[in-house]
Chains A and B, each alone.
Chain A
Amino acid sequence: MNHDSAPSRRQYHQARWNEPILYELGSPGERGVLPPGVDPAIGAEAQNWEAHIPASMRRKRPPNLPEISQVEILRHYLRLSQENLGAGFIPDFGMATSTMKYNPPVNEKLAGSPKLTALHPLQPQETVQGILEIMYKLGQFLAEISGMDKVSLQPRAGSQAIYANIAMMRAYHAKRGEGHRDEIITTIFSHPSDAAAPSAAGYKIITLYPEERGYPSLQALKAAVSERTAGLFITNPDDTGIFNPHIRDFVDLVHAAGGLCAYDQANANGLLGIARAREAGFDLCHFNLHKTFSTPHASGGPATGASCVTQALASFLPAPTVEFDGERYYLDYNRPDSIGKIGQFYGVAANFVRAYAWIMAHGAEGLREAASVAVLNNNYLMKKVLEIPGVTAPYEAGQPRIEQVRYSWEGLAQETGLGVEELARRAADYKMHFFMSHHPFVVPEPATLEPTESYSKRDLDEYAAAWASMADEARHQPDLVREAPHHAPIHQMRDQEAWLTDPDKWAPTWRAYRKKHAQAVESVDEMA
């Protein structure tokens, strides 16, 4: 086994600050920042603020917030920041389905411009022509990349875009007098939100399972489609990285029954400039700008889900849309068919600037290159990973995948009793992580990798070598894996089940913790 390509693996240790909870820091009277006080020039009457708050609504006790000096607060958060592994620090392709790309600092610089950060969303439109231009043009780019006709950037993440798309489907059917359509079809390898958001909108969900080639058969879809079908929500490739070549037939079948088809383009990274929603016949789709278009994942948002639709659905888009009359950009609220507001104002403007800059840095050829290299990286990594005994890539053996692969560690688990739960913990000791799968696990002992275009051959080799090394350890030093992690910010947790599912024990806030765990309270009080 070649360990040489995993340099200094054994010396690696993540930051471990063992940082107290904020409430254990500071002391009464310390200050973190002094906010602007009352302007001393204003008269005494106005200064008497209490007189202007109804007595019943005055706060009686000050909030129990910590009192800590600024230097200690900064230190605390800088230390916590070091106890994370993001795309800026590791080849982050273990966080698959999420398209963890490089987030260029120049885009942060642009998004941090006061010309954006200090804009109020209700300013006169002539004072926000710059950001409106970026929104308009980004919308046009995404329309071209998807082949759809019109775009809304309002949804604040992919799942909210899925919700916007089901809301538009509903409005479309209602307008045509087909409000009886109450079923949505999706696949088990599509994101949980492709089932959950339509369900939240009131639809019954029919879920198709993969057959031997990794995707559902047309026959299965035929059996599911009926006059009750409102639409199809599907990813392609699914999270296995397998492209369903019959997708056009799927779409045609749903159309023939009067349904609409929404393409969840969470996995679009291998398709930029290669294949589009338009050619496959879709009516709606959405992109995650934080995936495919490189805006940072921000510890879990804010993100952007761009809803893209054909002309037939354009009138239903969330209001306002951004329009251009040849001279000026403007917000169009006069959209009587619109589903209305999906969220506050127009979405996450900083991400519009980032994604715009990212697309402009690539152009058409560059986007295609990103897709090609993402697919090349994925297939190269797959070849390396499949050399490791104990791991397989279920379905379509020997065939190339698009941009990710859902592997199975079942072989290793059967052999050693150690599966992805243990390996995922051990992975932290190798400065990496991996995503298993959404639930339910259709692939046994799943581990999904999506190397994107952002990582080098060295990164890919090192990752595969680390997996090989972990498998080796599972066979020869099983305790090392079982007790992992060893080099992470914390040691293995205990009693998770009780602490997270028993209402008498769970502690979602510090005050809940103090109420329920008297012993802990005592030790804290002693410290104070």
Chain B
Amino acid sequence: MKELTYPYIPNSAPRAKQAMLTELGVEDCEALFAAIPPELRLKRTLDLPEPILSEFHLEKHVNQILSRNTSTEEALSFLGSGCYQHYVPAVCDEINHRSEFLTAYSGRAYEDHGRYQALFEYASMMGELLDMDVVNLPTYDGFQAVATSMRMAANITGRKEILVSRAIHPDKLSKIREYNGHILEFAFIDFDPQNGEIDLGALEQALSSRTAAVYFENPNFFGVIESQGARISELVHRQGGLSIVGADPISLGILAPPATYGADIACGDIQSLGIHMQFGGGHAGYIATRDDPAYVLEFPNRIYGLVPTKVPGEYGFGEVAFERTSFMARENGKEWVGTMANLWAITASVYLALMGPQGMAEVGQTITAHVQYAIQTLSKIKGVALQFPKSGHFREFVLDFSRSGKSVAEVNRALLAKNIFGGYDLSGKFPGFTNHAAYCVTEVHTKADIDRLAQAFAEVLI
């Protein structure tokens, strides 16, 4: 067998390897596997492709495969529905590409002080944006954050029933049910077909002393701004339940933070904050609450807290109430803790620091104005109607194509031929949505982009 020396494996170099084998007094590495019984050993070579040993050829090979993708830099995309195209400031990339953060893991608060501080600052800025005092180190994604928030609410109230607004991503619902189905009960609150907001009458009917919490989003899955947040929270509080609000932090420069309209738990995804879409790989979930031990002790995730050192003026950090976690208590801890999504929290922290209060307000204003222009322009086109025209929208809106004579799938195919990614097809996914699609417009879209979509619609829908 040919002896190869692998650049990533220092001791694959024959001399080094021999020196170590000699030191151990064994002939070859085989001897070190003596504990593995022969019947458990693989008696052949793994069936894998021939390796590409030179870095040059490896890079070429992978890039060649990736070249079969058409990215949103090459096509004009109006997709949102959980993953969003926002501007990523260069400093965000600069920091999250740093080997120092990229290759760190879970060293102690001494030699990994920088990681602790960056994550504490993340929680601190998120806390300000959300007007809440406690924010977790992120969980896997927004879906997990919502699923966990519901369990927290059930534990806090000692109740089982969660009322969920129907204006929610179907995949998110799938996650929530799978994760919580064995311990929680779900009831669904319809949205008002006129404005897309929660049907308050239906909510009032569903609420009872069994209600652990109401979960709704703002803006909701249709991009509709839920204007009745305070009323919803009041109604659930009256029954002794909690108000859980899903909010995208990028909206909070201009939209009221959930805590100001009664949310007890806020949760969601931070991908919008300086993290590339990456085919859905850039997600991380936040959960925020007030600073009350009844809440804090229900978090499964890490929470870092400030600690003094023996030198005045120096900050240290540690794990707040760590006994509650599975790392301390295994199956008796809250859910579990482990590797989740810290690098995205550091990236989001850089984003919030860069944006500041003014930047967050401006990006929200730009998105809202662009959405308004898109709504006005697109709904003038014959065969296209805006769903929920009387409601406020943020970043997303639903278009109804049922009068166009074409299905959303047909529209999207025609748009693709014009190098445009049309909206996410919602047909059949919600009551009354027969031929509907969710469109997303952000600060990166220009008037020209929206006009191009309008022109394409006009041509496609003739």
Contacting pair B253 A63 (CB below 8 A): yes
A306 at the interface (CB under 8 A from B): no
Question: Knowing A130-B65, A485-B111 touch, does A57 contact B392 (C-beta < 8 A)?
Answer: yes
Which B residues from 276 to 305 make CB contacts under 8 A with A? 276-284, 291-293, 296, 303-305
Distance between Cα atoms of A36 and B144 in the complex (Å): 31
List chain B residues, Cβ under 8 A from A170: 182
Pick from B113, B230, B279, B359: contact of A119, CB under 8 Å: B279
Question: Knowing A207-B330, A346-B279 touch, does A120 contact B443 (C-beta < 8 A)?
Answer: no
Give 26 A-B contacts (CB < 8 Å), ordered by A residue: A39-B369, A45-B372, A53-B225, A59-B253, A62-B357, A63-B252, A67-B358, A83-B117, A84-B114, A123-B72, A157-B338, A192-B336, A297-B105, A299-B102, A302-B284, A344-B171, A345-B280, A345-B283, A349-B279, A350-B281, A377-B20, A456-B10, A491-B314, A493-B109, A506-B296, A512-B127
Give the number of residue pairs across the A-B interface with Cβ within 8 Å: 738
User: A237 to nearest B CB, angstroms?
Assistant: 8
A102 at the interface (CB under 8 A from B): yes
Distance between Cα atoms of A64 and B10 in the complex (Å): 50
Which B residues from 78 to 132 make CB contacts under 8 A with A? 79, 81-83, 85, 87, 89, 91, 94-95, 97-115, 117-121, 123-129, 131
Distance between Cα atoms of A48 and B365 in the complex (Å): 9
Question: Knowing A453-B9, A508-B291 touch, does A195 contact B331 (C-beta < 8 A)?
Answer: yes
Pick from A46, A144, A301, A494: contact of B369, CB under 8 Å: A46
Pick from B45, B69, B228, B392: contact of A130, CB under 8 Å: B69
List chain B residues, Cβ under 8 A from A78: 95, 98
Distance between Cα atoms of A48 and B135 in the complex (Å): 33
Contacting pair B142 A129 (CB below 8 A): no
Contacting pair B11 A376 (CB below 8 A): yes
B462 at the interface (CB under 8 A from A): no
List chain A residues, Cβ under 8 A from B310: 491-494
Pick from B127, B269, B326: contact of A344, CB under 8 Å: B269
Distance between Cα atoms of A252 and B29 in the complex (Å): 30
Bitwise, A480-501 to B at CB < 8 A (1) or not (0) is 0000010011111111100111
Which A residues from 25 to 62 make CB contacts under 8 A with B? 30-39, 41-43, 45-49, 52-54, 56-60, 62
Which B residues from 241 to 288 make CB contacts under 8 A with A? 252-257, 260-261, 269, 276-284
Contacting pair B393 A510 (CB below 8 A): no
B335 at the interface (CB under 8 A from A): yes
Bitwise, A227-255 to B at CB < 8 A (1) or not (0) is 00000000000000011010110000000
Bitwise, A194-211 to B at CB < 8 A (1) or not (0) is 011111111001010000
List chain B residues, Cβ under 8 A from A54: 225, 227, 392
Distance between Cα atoms of A365 and B9 in the complex (Å): 13
List chain B residues, Cβ under 8 A from A435: 106
Instruction: Identify the closest chain B residue to A347 (Cβ).
Output: B281
Contacting pair B366 A38 (CB below 8 A): yes
Distance between Cα atoms of A205 and B276 in the complex (Å): 39
Contacting pair A508 B359 (CB below 8 A): no
A308 at the interface (CB under 8 A from B): no
A219 at the interface (CB under 8 A from B): no
How many chain A residues touch B (CB < 8 A): the figure is 214
B444 at the interface (CB under 8 A from A): yes
List chain A residues, Cβ under 8 A from B412: 124
Stretch at the interface among A1-9, A269-277, A405-413: A269-277
Contacting pair A366 B175 (CB below 8 A): no
Contacting pair A373 B11 (CB below 8 A): yes
Question: Knowing A39-B447, A345-B279 touch, does A57 contact B218 (C-beta < 8 A)?
Answer: yes
B196 at the interface (CB under 8 A from A): no
Contacting pair A41 B447 (CB below 8 A): yes
Which A residues from 462 to 515 make CB contacts under 8 A with B? 485, 488-496, 499-501, 503, 506-513, 515
List chain B residues, Cβ under 8 A from A375: 29, 32-33
Contacting pair A36 B366 (CB below 8 A): yes
User: B460 to nearest A CB, angstroms?
Assistant: 15
Which A residues from 102 to 155 make CB contacts under 8 A with B? 102-104, 106, 108-110, 112-124, 126-131, 133-134, 141, 144-145, 147
List chain B residues, Cβ under 8 A from A366: 4, 6, 9, 51
User: A365 to nearest B CB, angstroms?
Assistant: 7
